[in-house]
């Protein structure tokens, strides 16, 4: 039985009638830009996340860009973000004319190292963008403390982490910094049928600024105090998202069940380690450090597959082995951003980001989507066991 990395059709088939009703509601409303669907979704998501304000926007990328623009960030400024993340985190910084300053991942984790963020702060640092990678929150207590001491705003890239929590905070991912940026790209945990995103903040002034910049910096109509963009979310996508949001807790519960299953079954295999702390430097498969009860929402379930030091051979061999058996997997992400051609001028290409470079050689994400069947999960575990000779 094939096990794709995700199956977007499956989820939509289950709620087919509700999605069609949402489509008809928008079709016959005559309101195709902004309006009540957007406002309803914004209200529902603001309370779900625990932020005062939420703005529907055109994508997760545009949410980050709009946050940076609302903070007035531009040429001459520096913004610190992880090097091990999706491109958009840093791409948006460069688009404002500011310089992305990359920080390493924390040892034994996927997320950014707060100590490395602190080392890279200068007088030009105008924001910090931690990313909650794979649905697990970055070390926000440490990052917020560092940022507060220097009075630097924090933009949480929560594109992969809607509803993720940690015990220290009452709000969820995206409610803790000055801004939270979310994506509704179809493979995110809450995905629309196209592109979409959300920007959250609990600061009234920042919310007002972002609201104006979302529509060309226009207020009132045809008067422009600032240069903004068209960063609007479509009401049709908002209507679809509201259908899925009503089932979101169930989707998360299923992802957590899948993660618990993998942690238990894979954890019993020889050569598999529960933590990078006790894994050898070579020939080890390491399970994610996130644990089910801690509040991650498992956008990805990501293994670290270690072979011979400094190579990706064993990870790539496992990926090919799974692929031959019809099991999907993906490498998020094969190249840290400091090594990307377009960021060569940022001047960090020769720096030694030890943890991020190791992650890029070792990571492999396996299917975790809510609709996975028991049979499919056991097939994934069986294939990995076979690869390990168990």
Ligand X SMILES: *Cc1c(COP(=O)(O)O)cnc(C)c1O
User: Site residues (CB under 6 A) for ligand X?
Assistant: 59-61, 85-86, 88-89, 131, 157, 159-160, 183, 185, 195, 197
Q: Nearest CA to 210 among 85, 101, 105, 58? A: 58
Please give the Cα distance from 40 to 26 (Å, whole number).
Answer: 13
- Region of 271 on the Ramachandran plot (φ > 0 left; ψ -120 to 50 alpha; else beta): left
* Residue 131 or 199 having the CB closest to ligand X: 131
Q: Which one, 91 or 271, has the nearer CB to ligand X? A: 91
Residue with tokens 């959250």: 200
State the nearest-atom distance from the C-beta of 88 to ligand X, in Å. 4
Closest approach of ligand X to the CB of residue 134, in Å = 9
Please tell me whether residue 180 adopts helix, strand or coil conformation.
strand
Quickly count: other Cβ atoms within 10 Å of residue 259's Cβ. Answer: 22
Q: How far is the CB of 133 from ligand X (least distance, A)?
A: 7
Residue 226 C-beta: closest distance to ligand X, Å: 22
Whichever of 110 and 185 has its CB closer to ligand X, that residue is 185
User: Considering the complex, what minimum distance in angstroms separates the CB of residue 274 from ligand X?
Assistant: 26
Within 10 Å of residue 45's Cβ, how many Cβ atoms? 25
Query: Is 64 or 381 the residue whose CB approaches ligand X more closely?
Result: 64
* Closer of 85 and 237 to ligand X (Cβ): 85
Of 120, 111, 108, nearest to 146 by C-alpha is 120
How would you write 86-101 as a 3-class SS string?
Answer: CCHHHHHHHHCCCEEE
With respect to ligand X, which residue has the nearer C-beta, 192 or 285?
192
- CA–CA separation, 197 vs 185, rounded Å? 8
Measured from the CB atom, is 85 or 201 closer to ligand X? 85
| Least distance between ligand X and beta carbon 30 (Å) | 27
Q: Which two tokens stand for residue 244?
A: 């899925």
Instruction: State the minimum distance, in angstroms, from the CB of residue 160 to ligand X.
Output: 5
Nearest approach in angstroms of CB 123 to ligand X is: 27
Q: Which residue is nearest to ligand X (CB)?
A: 60
Start-end of H helices in 248-352: 248-267, 313-324
Distance CA 258, CA 368 (A): 6
CA distance 24 to 290: 41
Contacts of 267 (CB under 8 A, 6+ apart): 274, 287
Looking at the Cβ atoms of 160 and 165, the one nearer to ligand X is 160
Considering the complex, what minimum distance in angstroms separates the CB of residue 83 from ligand X?
Answer: 13
Minimum CB distance to ligand X smaller for 71 or for 279: 71
With respect to ligand X, which residue has the nearer C-beta, 200 or 376? Answer: 200
Closest separation in Å from C-beta 354 to ligand X: 21
Q: Are strands 272-273 and 78-82 parallel, antiparallel or unpaired?
A: unpaired
Q: Which is nearer to ligand X, 160 or 329 (CB)?
A: 160
Tokens representing residue 141 in the block: 């207590």
Contact 286, 109 (CB under 8 A): no
> Least distance from C-beta 390 to ligand X, angstroms?
33
Cross-strand pairs, 81: 102
**DSSP letters spanning 343-365:** GGGGT-TTS--HHHHHHHHHEEE
- Judge residue 104's burial from the number of C-beta atoms within 10 Å of its C-beta, 0-12 exposed, 13-18 middle, 19 or more buried: buried
């Amino acid at each position: 039985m094939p096990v794709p990395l995700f199956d977007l059709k499956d989820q939509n088939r289950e709620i087919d009638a509700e999605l069609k009703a949402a489509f008809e509601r928008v079709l016959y409303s005559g309101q195709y830009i902004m309006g009540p669907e957007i406002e309803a979704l914004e209200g529902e998501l603001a309370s779900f996340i625990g932020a005062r304000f939420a703005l529907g926007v055109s994508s997760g990328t545009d949410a980050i860009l709009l946050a940076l623009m609302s903070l007035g960030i531009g040429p001459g400024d520096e913004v610190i973000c992880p090097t091990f993340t999706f491109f958009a985190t840093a791409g948006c910084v460069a688009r404002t004319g500011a310089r992305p300053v990359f920080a390493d991942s924390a040892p034994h984790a996927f997320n950014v190292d707060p100590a490395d963020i602190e080392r890279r702060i200068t007088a030009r640092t105008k924001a910090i963008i931690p990313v909650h990678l794979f649905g697990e929150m970055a070390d926000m207590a440490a990052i917020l403390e560092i940022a507060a001491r220097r009075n630097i705003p924090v933009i949480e890239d929560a594109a992969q982490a809607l509803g993720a929590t940690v015990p220290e905070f009452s709000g969820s991912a995206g409610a803790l910094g000055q801004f939270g940026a979310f994506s509704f790209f179809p493979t995110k945990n809450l995905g629309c049928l196209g592109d979409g995103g959300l920007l959250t903040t609990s600061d009234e002034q920042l919310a007002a600024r972002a609201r104006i910049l979302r529509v060309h910096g226009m207020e009132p109509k045809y008067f422009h105090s600032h240069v903004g963009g068209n960063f609007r979310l479509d009401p049709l996508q908002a209507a679809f998202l509201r259908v899925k949001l009503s089932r979101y807790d169930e989707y998360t519960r299923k992802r957590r069940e899948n993660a618990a299953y993998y942690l238990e079954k894979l954890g019993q295999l020889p050569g598999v380690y529960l933590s990078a702390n006790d894994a050898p430097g070579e020939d080890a498969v390491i399970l994610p450090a996130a644990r089910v009860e801690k509040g991650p929402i498992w956008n990805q379930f990501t293994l670290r597959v270690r072979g011979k030091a400094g190579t990706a051979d064993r990870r790539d061999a496992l990926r090919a082995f799974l692929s031959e058996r019809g099991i999907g997997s993906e490498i998020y992400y094969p190249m840290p951003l400091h090594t990307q051609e377009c960021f060569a001028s940022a001047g960090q290409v020769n720096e030694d980001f030890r943890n991020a470079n190791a992650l890029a050689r070792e990571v492999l994400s396996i299917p975790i989507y809510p609709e996975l069947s028991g049979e499919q999960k056991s097939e994934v575990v069986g294939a990995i066991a076979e690869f390990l000779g168990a």
